[in-house]
Amino acid sequence: MTLKEGRCPNCGSILHLDAKAEKGHCLFCDAVFQNSEAFSIAENPDGHTFPNEPQPKYEGPSLQPGYSGSQKADPARARKQQPQPSKPKPPPPPVYEMKEPQQMPDIRIPGKTKIKMLIGFLVVVLLAVGITVPILMNRDSVRAELTTAIPGIAEFPLTPDRDISIWHVKNDYIMIATEETLAEEEVIDFFKRLCEKRASILSMDTDDFQTVYGSVKLKLVTPDGGFLINQPKSETDLAVGKAITLLP
């Protein structure tokens, strides 16, 4: 069987038809036509006008090449047997070319520079130690003296190592726990004596309320809750109890 290229007289589709067959069938528009006409149009498609009119569904014997006349037309099967255009092969991957290793810059530090850097680091460390150590030593000294003095100014029993904690570098946050139940007036009087004792140890100006009282925070815990006096702003706030908070 010899196949020959033709054009559908109705829709213009390119078809491969049996050169010896009388009729052909278009798989795209269902038109049935004379193969001789399809071959003629393929040779000169510009001289033919394609009407592209709707065609009745063809259910007669198959007119596709390779089918016997007793077989009915099966467009789907026929399309599968049409030669399919080959897909282009993907281009080959690029060939990797070895490159010369990149030379890293020489970042070695000269010996003299290393010594200078080490000396600078040691100076910074010594300065930091020289500043920090005296501050911490003074803090600890004042803290120990204040911790020892607090039981003497309190009107309730206290054990320094168990009931008293002092915080911050300036020793301005004091926490005290007692098993006694205290009234608000007793706590305010104790706070004043505590601040005055701290000011005496630190050699502060006792006439400056903000320095002596306004920078101190006292948390006093009792069996029924406790009290918090946090940096009172004035003598009046302290005297009338405005600066004191009841703890649950």
Per-residue model confidence as pLDDT tens digits over 31-69: 899 989 989 988 988 888 888 999 888 888 877 776 654
- Provide the phi-psi class of 231: left if phi over 0, else alpha when psi is between -120 and 50, else beta: left
pLDDT tens per residue across span 96-107? 777 777 777 767
pLDDT at 83: 52
Q: Are strands 225-230 and 217-222 parallel, antiparallel or unpaired?
A: antiparallel
Residues 225, 194 contacting (CB under 8 angstroms): no
Kindly state the DSSP code that residue 212 receives in the 8-state scheme. H
Inter-axis angle of helices 111-153 and 184-201, to 10 degrees? 130
Supply angle C-alpha 85, 88, 91, rounded to 5: 175
H helix and E strand count, the chain: 7, 9
Q: Answer yes or no: is pLDDT of 245 > 90.
A: yes
| Mean pLDDT across 85-99 | 75
Q: Is residue 233 classed as helix, strand or coil in its secondary structure?
A: coil
More confident residue, 188 or 104: 188
> Per-residue confidence at 20, pLDDT binned at 50, 70, 90?
confident
Q: Domain residues of the chain, as ranges?
A: 3-81, 126-247
* Per-residue tokens: 61: 């014997």
Dihedral sign for Cα 160, 163, 169, 172, please: negative
* Per-residue tokens: 182: 């205290």
More confident residue, 131 or 1: 131
